[in-house]
Amino acid sequence: MLCGPSGIRLSILQPLILTVLIAATPSLASAVHDPIDEIFVTATRRPTSATQISAASSLVAGQKVQEQQLTTDALRSLAGVFVQQTTPGQGAAIIRGLRGSSILHLVDGMRLNNAIFRSAPTQYLALVPTSAVERIEVIRGIPAALYGSEAVGGVIQVVSRTPVFDSSTREVRREFRASLDSAELRKSLSAGIDSGTKKFASSFSVQYLSSGNRRTGGGKRVLPSAFDSKAARLLFVATPTTGRTWLLDVQMLEQPRTPRVDELVPGFGQTQPSSSEFFLAPNQRLFAHARHSRNNGAFGLDWNFDVAWQRIVDDRVTRGFSATEKVHESNSSDLGGATLSASGKANAATWILGAELYYDHVRSARDQEDTITGEMQRVPSRFPDGSSVTQAAIYGSMDRTLATRHRLSGGLRFTNVNISLPGTDVTSAESISTTDLSADLGWIYGPGLNWQIVANVGFGFRAPNIFDLGNLGNRPGNRFNIPNTALDSEHVLQGDIGVRFISDRHQFSVVFFSLRYEERITSVLTGDVTPEGRDIVQSINAANSSIRGVEAGFDFNVTAAVSAHAILNYAWGEQRIIGDVREPADRIPPLNGRLSLTLDHGGAWKLESWIATAGRQDRLSARDIRDVRIDPKGTAGWGTVGASAEWSPGGGWQISANLENLFDKRYRSHGSGLDEPGRNLSLTVRRAW
């Protein structure tokens, strides 16, 4: 074994990745080509070339997303992103050591984050149908002026697929996909049909997934870990005149009964599980979105107006280990939002001004069932029933070329958040209002044709939500949370600097970042214990955290047919909770990376192989050590090998096979609630015509 920064041990595969990356870097100097025209929306709220964005960014194409079981699974191969999973039906991204409500999640520019979004990893991004995704854009850092509260660690935006037709005659496109795998006994089906002309188009798709109990490395299946999922989407888009677009999109996904595996199997230091029953039943998301876009509209500006409504249902059925009382919960969030923006150009500058308004209403109820007598009684709900959050903001951002080699961007945003919590048997009624300022500044310097030096600095905030203020009930890690309605906003100051190379053959970027997280809301022990043995905790503004690290991504086209892709991520964190006691920050991912090699024979067939690896993480906070999902001695390093083959015989057919975790290694990603799948063979058949 080798030792890395701060004593972190590296698996034997990690030096291989480092060697390949270092050896490959000099080849960039000899490649001078026109930059790849990769377009992002999230970084500027309008289509912008990757070469004009100072923020650290990554993109996943829709085809890659549609090959995954969950939308979040597609994030695993991105620079600066680490994926945590507590149950096979859930996945959550960690960016720069931050997670949950410290990362803003969007779907087509509208907020996915809601009032009951946890500060810990959440399952809600997994409720976006994979079949609806055109691409996923990830911005690492603080685009705080554009997005405000919760955009302190980064932004993940799902851009939904919209069919485009060029003919005045009606065309029809169809697609069918079926797949299965061995590790999770997964069976999935999806089908879709697009129809339209250049002025009007529609799309309808459905998907169904049935996943069995996961087999981890070595052949053991984890019971229970099976879940089902069903989804549908209906879209209409009209372009009556050039530059004017109307859109209506409705999406739905439901997981009828998904187990919380970490609650149902003994964790580290446990001889018995925390619960005999713990199911999300159901987890559901319904999303309706309407948009009107007008290019070169009033005052010669480009206008966008969006309205959307999202309902997330987070119902639960739980029963403590060997308890005779079963708890039935009904929790939901209805989030409505409207946004208006105008953008334009003036000489060497582009700018955008906008306003947005969101209103979120939370319903929550809880009943306790005596499993012996069948008697039901109403008990205090997880959240104060009828709670609401109103968020209003105005913002402005500008991007300007100062000279042939310099480009500056920056913006400001004022956000007002009003929170209403009705009184309960546990807490009194509260009304909370906060107004805060967010800002960011970016710089691009181009010393050469394809080289850029980039830097960013920003400060933002995260207002407490209903989950922070009013949560009452069991938490992961054998904890029981009690409410605290006296919380303040968190604040983050973040900066990064990096170098990147972009051409039509190669892409390379290395970014160094540092952030300071002040007044961070964290869960602390009260010293009391529930009758079931759970530690009673409460959220308070008690933590100040410092996190710094490096993110690197490499894409090489060795020849027209051979390409290589590699990422390397490292983060180091420290925090202080109450007083001057310093310790490692919570849930910081270890050094991790991935290296893949692809051979593409002109689209007829494609082969890919890869190595994924992570180092040992033994820099644990006191909370990490108490968390039954994390080995108190540290999470072991690991490395896995995989390969895939894809064949396109013609007629719109495509057949692919994936072999993951070739050596059937048993391992766990740091902070996850269950081991990763063992050796897994998956087969997929797709036809588009």
HEC secondary structure over 188-203: EEEEEEEEECCCEEEE
* More confident of the two residues 34 and 482: 482
pLDDT at 32: 33
Please state the rounded mean pLDDT for residues 101-119: 95
pLDDT at 2: 36
Does some domain include residue 350? no
33, pLDDT greater than 60: no
Per-residue pLDDT tens digits for 656-676: 999 999 999 999 999 999 999
pLDDT at 232: 98
Return the closest-CA partner of residue 76 out of 592, 675, 472, 574: 592
pLDDT at 316: 96
CA distance 292 to 298: 14
Return the closest-CA partner of residue 612 out of 593, 597, 637: 593
Per-residue pLDDT tens digits for 255-300: 999 999 999 999 999 999 999 999 999 999 999 999 999 999 999 9
Per-residue pLDDT tens digits for 481-490: 999 999 999 9
353, pLDDT greater than 70: yes
Which residue's entry shows tokens 């048997």? 425
Does some domain include residue 107? yes
Return the closest-CA partner of residue 685 out of 644, 637, 647: 647
What are the phi and psi torsion angles at 209 (to 5°)? -135, 135
Write down the mean pLDDT value for the chain. Answer: 91
CA distance 393 to 409: 20
Structure tokens at 109: 């520019």
Per-residue pLDDT tens digits for 147-189: 988 999 999 999 999 999 999 999 999 999 999 999 999 999 9
479 pLDDT band, cuts 50/70/90, is confident
Does some domain include residue 373? no
Q: Which of 28-32, 127-131, 439-443, 452-456 has the lowest mean pLDDT?
A: 28-32
Question: DSSP label at 476?
Answer: T
pLDDT at 613: 96
93, pLDDT greater than 50: yes
SS (H, E, C) 329-377: EEEEEEEEEEEEEEEEEECCEEEEEEEEEEEEEEEEEEEEEECCCCCEE
Does some domain include residue 352? no
Please state the rounded mean pLDDT for residues 358-379: 97
18, pLDDT greater than 50: no
Compute CA distances 582 → 4, 418, 578, 622, whole Å: 22, 34, 9, 10
CA distance 409 to 619: 37
687, pLDDT greater than 90: yes
46, pLDDT greater than 60: yes
* More confident of the two residues 142 and 362: 362
Query: Helix or strand or coil: residue 226?
Result: coil
Q: Which of 196-210, 374-388, 572-586, 639-653 has the lowest mean pLDDT?
A: 572-586
List the CATH number of the domain containing 426: 2.40.170.20
Helix (H) or strand (E) holding 13: none
- Report how many domains make up the chain: 1
Does some domain include residue 347? no
25, pLDDT greater than 60: no
Residue 614's domain comprises 2-332+389-688
Please state the rounded mean pLDDT for residues 536-543: 93
Does some domain include residue 593? yes
Q: Rounded to two decimals, what is the model's pTM?
A: 0.93
* More confident of the two residues 455 and 449: 455
pLDDT at 37: 56
pLDDT at 523: 87
Please state the rounded mean pLDDT for residues 386-396: 98
13, pLDDT greater than 80: no
610, pLDDT greater than 90: yes
Does some domain include residue 382? no
Which residue's entry shows tokens 């290019």? 295
Does some domain include residue 339? no
CA distance 388 to 432: 11
pLDDT at 27: 33
CA distance 62 to 173: 17
pLDDT at 4: 38
CA distance 118 to 250: 25
